[in-house]
Amino acid sequence: MSKTSLRTRMWAYCAASFGFTLLSSTFSFYYVKVFLTFYHIDEKWFHLAQILYLIWNAVNDPLFAYCQDTSASWMPTTRRELILYTGPLFGMAYLTAWFPWAYSSWVTGLHLIVALCLYDTMFTFIGLALCCLYTEITVTESERIRLTQMSQVVGFIGSFSVTLCEFSSHSLKDFSKFQATTVLLAVLSAVFMVYAGKHAHTYYDVRKMMATNEGENEDGCTQSTDRTSYWRLTWQILSDRNFLSFVITNFFQEFHRSFIMSFTVIICDQLISEDDVHPYVRSIFYGSIPAIHSLLVIFGAPLVDKLGYFSVIRGNFVWKILSGLTMVFLGQGHPWLLIMFLLADSAYTNMAFSFFNLPLSYIADANMQRFNRNHPMSSMIFGTNALVVKPAQSLCPMFIVAVLNMYGYQHLKAGTLTSFETSQLKEVMFRLACCLPVVMGCLQFLSWSFFSIRLRHAPSHTIDVTA
């Protein structure tokens, strides 16, 4: 079997990341608005779907992670094969949300439940494999920052899938064109996933290839054969103070990101009129939300390498607190300033999140060394992280929708709110947009202070494999 260069493997990872971003950006950005505005889902069904989605999230991530790390017989044997076989299925699951089944209350509710759970199943398969590839393709901090930078280049391009949907559908005014665009995105994603599935060999795959070619017996297999029980592995991970500090921080980061991706368009449609900001500019703004943070990562990676990811991530929490308080003090009578605040908050929050795989990778490395494993339990580390963090993706929409409906958002869509009630609803939206980052930043600054892995040197097992 031929050996692949590090650069080839890194670009294969980037191909998978590109395909993943094409779908994940648009799904998280549009599904709430589509089901609330176009399918008119009842609030009770919306909350039920989010609760079931939360439960399924809590089950599938650690389950799939354990199966991947312990070489379950029904699973593909390598990370890249997971992407190869499930990538096209991810596109099919993604499309489930954009084609309505019917417009009755219970059918729309069932549609959301199936769409969320099916999408998350494939999202978990691909997401876990990508996270593990990130940890296992590269082994030094400089390589990981470089891979982050490379993946953000293609991620930046992929995130313009939202812009493509915005302009092709005229901000969803032509829903049939939006549907056609999502089909195109699903096909493109599948093509890039298949390419990555054929070329994204990990460091441990390459090491095994080298040993096989040289006639040696290599103990470091493609995936761990450690048959430690699931509960024992989970306890080993959860008993790590660094892991606990990280997942608490990550939970609030995910909560904030879900708010940005799902509710920015809803809030801005109410707070910023077309007289203040032209619809064309608004579409550019919406399209920039998933994309602009990639530019920060691409051009800021050398600075992150110099300062360290710990300081850069902590700086995001300070920004949230200071900028949010400043915007509250200035008030909502400045539409252009509000747009700049929301764009900057989204960019820095998502930029910091782009480096969250670094601390998780070092937690996986430390766990491998601590328990003397041949292979890092990457899937279990990332899966246990998801067990704690991904419920934020359901809790955030449930909380925000409940608050908005308390102040008449459902009646606003029907056009039955008085001018006073409308003004009150807009004030609540403004407070949510400004105060939620402040609360998140305070909680994260505290939890992140307990994380102690702040500088890593190149591990001794680094190898150089050339084509």
Question: Tens digit of pLDDT per residue, the chain (467 long)?
Answer: 334 577 788 888 888 889 998 898 889 888 888 888 888 888 889 889 988 888 887 777 777 776 666 655 455 566 777 888 888 899 999 999 999 988 788 899 999 999 999 998 888 888 888 877 877 777 777 788 888 888 888 877 887 888 888 888 887 888 899 999 999 999 999 999 888 888 777 766 666 555 555 555 444 444 444 555 667 777 888 888 899 999 999 999 999 999 988 888 888 888 887 777 777 787 777 777 767 877 888 888 788 878 888 888 999 999 999 999 999 998 888 888 988 899 899 989 988 988 888 888 888 878 877 777 766 676 778 778 888 888 888 889 889 988 988 888 877 766 677 888 788 888 999 999 999 999 999 999 999 999 988 754 444 443 333 33
Q: What is the amino acid identity at position 426?
A: K
Q: CA-based diameter of the chain, in Å? A: 79
Q: Do 64 and 380 touch, CB atoms closer than 8 A?
A: no
| Residues counted in the chain | 467
The residue written with tokens 């890249």 in the block is 80
Question: What pLDDT score was predicted for residue 191?
Answer: 92
Q: Report pLDDT for 215.
A: 52
The answer to whether 359 and 246 have CB atoms below 8 angstroms apart is: yes
Q: Give the per-residue pLDDT at 178.
A: 92
Domain formed by 6-448, architecture: Up-down Bundle (1.20)
Residue 92: its H or E element: helix 79-95
CA distance linking residue 113 with residue 409, whole number of Å: 22
The three-class DSSP label of residue 179 is: helix
Domain range list for the chain: 6-448
- Model pLDDT, residue 85: 83
- For residue 232, the model assigns a pLDDT of 77
Alpha-carbon span 246 to 363, nearest angstrom:
9
CB 338 within 8 A of CB 332: yes
At residue 29, the pLDDT reads 82
Contacts of residue 53, Cβ cutoff 8 Å, sequence gap at least 6: 113, 116, 117, 120, 393, 394
Among 18, 291, 249, residue whose Cα is nearest residue 159: 291
Q: What's the pLDDT score for residue 252?
A: 96
What's the CA gap between 104 and 450, in Å, rounded?
50
pTM score, whole prediction? 0.68
Does residue 215 come out as left (phi exceeding 0), alpha (psi in the -120 to 50 range) or beta? left
Query: Which residue, among 159, 172, 405, has the nearest Cα to 291 in the 3D structure?
Result: 159
> What pLDDT, on a 0 to 100 scale, did the predictor assign at position 450?
92
- Region for 168 from its dihedrals, namely left if φ exceeds 0, alpha if ψ lies in -120 to 50, beta otherwise: alpha
Residue 87 tokens, joined: 């990538």
Q: What is the structure's pLDDT at 87? A: 85
Distance CA 456, CA 41 (A): 49
Q: Which of 104, 108, 113, 95 is nearest to 189 (CA)?
A: 95
pLDDT of res. 177: 92
Question: What value, to the nearest 5°, has the Cα angle with vertex 421 and ends 415 and 425?
Answer: 95
Q: How far apart are CA 83 and CA 131, in angstroms?
A: 12
User: Can you list the positions of beta strands (E) in 74-198?
Assistant: none
CA distance 53 to 32: 13
Asked whether the beta carbons of 238 and 244 are under 8 A apart, the reply is: yes
